[in-house]
Amino acid sequence: MTPIPPKPDHTHDTNLTSWVLSAETETDFPIQNLPLGVFSLNELGPRIGTAIGDQIFDLSQLDLGMDQTIKSALKQPTLNALFALPSSQLKALRLILSKSLSDKAYAETLSPHLYAQNICQMHLPVHIGDYTDFYVGIHHATRVGKLFRPDNPLLPNYKHVPIGYHGRASSITVSDTPVVRPLGQTLPPEALEPIFGPTKRLDFELELGLIIGTANELGSPISIHEAPQHMAGLCLLNDWSARDLQAWEYQPLGPFLAKNFHSSLSPWVITMEALVPFRGEALKRAVGDPNPLPYLTDAYDQAFGGVTIKLEAHIKTKAMADQGDDPIRLCQSQATHAMYWTLSQILTHHTSGGCNLRTGDLLGTGTLSGPETSQSGSLLELSQGGKHPFDLGNGEFRRFLEDGDEISFTARAEAKGFKTIGFGECRGKIMPARSV
C-alpha cells in the first residue's frame, strides 16, 4: 500500500496574502507560516502570539469563534496547554488565524492586537520538562568520530539505535540571552593533572529542536505510526559545547558540564501543520546499511518523514560588530540530508522502553552537518578539531569561539510551488568567563 502524502490546504496556498503589509515583503513569517511564541511588552506580561511579517499578533485576548479549550489555553503564559490539545484543535486554530490575518474585513478590529516584533521581549515558548539531545546527524557523527578513530569513525551501534542522551532543561534560554563562557576542569595537552579555568574550546552546535505535543503515559510507548500526532513543532537549537571539558569528563557516562552551562532556543515554534508542504522522503540508507528494527520502520515515515529545511549558521565577531559589518555565514546544510534518523524515529525510540514524554519536552536532533566539511554545523568540524583555523574571510580565523563572537542560526523551509517560511533566529553572544 502506497502511503498517502500529507496534504497541504488553503492555509498553505502560495497566493494567500495578509492585510498585515510587512507579511507581503521578504519575511520569515508570511501568512503561510503562523508560528507560535510567547512575548511580553512593558506592562503586558508573557502571552501567546503568532508572528506575522514584522509584527506579533497577540492571541491572548481574542475571541474569534474559537473553542473554549483553545481560548483558555491561549490565556496561558506558555504554549504547553495549547500543545497538549489534540492536533485537530491546533489545526482549527491555524484555520482561524489564517482567515483572520488574510481577510481584510478583520483588519480594523484586529490591528490593535498587533505589536512590532522589535519592541517586544521574547520568552521560551514552552515550559520544558525534560530535554533530550540526539545524535542523528550522520555527517557530524562521522566527522567527529574521524578525529578520534580515523579508520572507524562510526561506532557499531550508530546505524541500529538512535543515539541520544539527557540534557539539562534548567539552563535552556530563549535566543538572545548572552552566553557566559563556562569554567571547568580540563586536562591540558601533555599535562598529568587537570586544571580549572575558562574553556578554551567553546563551540556551537546547529540543531533542530522538536517540541512535544500530546504526552504519553509512563509505560505506554508511542509507535512509529502514532509518532507524528505527538509533535507540536520545530525550533532552532544551539547546544553550546565546551569541547575541552567534554573530552576530560565524558567517560564513561557521557557529556555533562560540557553541555549544561547553556543552550539557546529560538522563540517561534514552527508548527508541524505549517511544515506540511515541506515533508518528503527521509534520507535513503546506503547500500550495506542495516534495516532499522521493526519498531523503527514505517513506510509513511520513509516516504514523508523528511523535512526540507535549509539551515545556516552565521558569526559576527567583535571586530565585525565594531566596524558595522554584516555577519558572515559559517555553514549551510539541509535537515533531511543530514538526519540518519527521522523525527518519528527518535520520538518512538525515546518512548520504546516506556519513558514518558510530556507536552513541551524538547528533543534536539544533534548537530545537522551536511556531507561536505564546509557544511559543518560546529567549529569542531570546521576547524578539524582545532587543527586548521577556519578562515572567516575578513582576515580573522577561528579554531573555537572567542569572547564577543555572536552566533546566529537561521532556517527556511522550501518547496516548489509553496511560499518559503522561516524560523526566525537563534542567537547568542559569548561573554567573558567570570573570574576563577
Q: In the complex, which residues of this chain contact a copy of itself (CB under 8 A)? A: 129-130, 132, 135, 155, 157, 160-161, 163-171, 173, 180, 182-185, 187, 193-196, 218-219, 221, 242, 245, 248-257, 260-262, 290, 293-295, 349-350, 352-358, 361, 434, 436
CB 430, min distance to a copy of itself, A: 13
Could you give phi then psi for residue 294, rounded to 5 degrees?
Answer: -55, -35
Decide the pairing of beta strands 131-134 and 362-364.
Answer: parallel
CB 72, min distance to a copy of itself, A: 21
CB 216, min distance to a copy of itself, A: 10
**Does the active-site annotation cover 350?**
no
Q: Which is nearer to a copy of itself, 20 or 257 (CB)?
A: 257
H, E, C per residue of 50-71: EEECCEEEECCCCCCCCCHHHH
Q: Which is nearer to a copy of itself, 64 or 169 (CB)?
A: 169
CB 168, min distance to a copy of itself, A: 6
CA nearest to 233, candidates 257, 205, 269: 269
Cis peptide upstream of residue 156 (ω within 30 degrees of 0): no
Cell of 56: 506579533
The three-state secondary structure class of 373 is helix
Distance CA(216)–CA(27), nearest Å, equals 36
CA nearest to 277, candidates 16, 27, 59: 16
Residue of 123, 140, 314, 349 marked active site: 140
Cell of 115: 505589536
Q: Which is nearer to a copy of itself, 122 or 242 (CB)?
A: 242
CB 339, min distance to a copy of itself, A: 17
**Residue 121 CA: distances (Å) to CA of 38, 175, 186, 215:** 9, 11, 37, 29
Cell of 255: 557529556
Helix or strand holding residue 29 (H, E): none
Q: Which is nearer to a copy of itself, 28 or 381 (CB)?
A: 381
Dihedral of CA 105/28/424/88: which sign? positive
Q: Which is nearer to a copy of itself, 98 or 238 (CB)?
A: 238
Q: Which is nearer to a copy of itself, 17 or 171 (CB)?
A: 171
CB 132 within 8 A of CB 212: no
CB 150, min distance to a copy of itself, A: 16
Distance CA(407)–CA(364), nearest Å, equals 18
- Catalytically active residues are 140
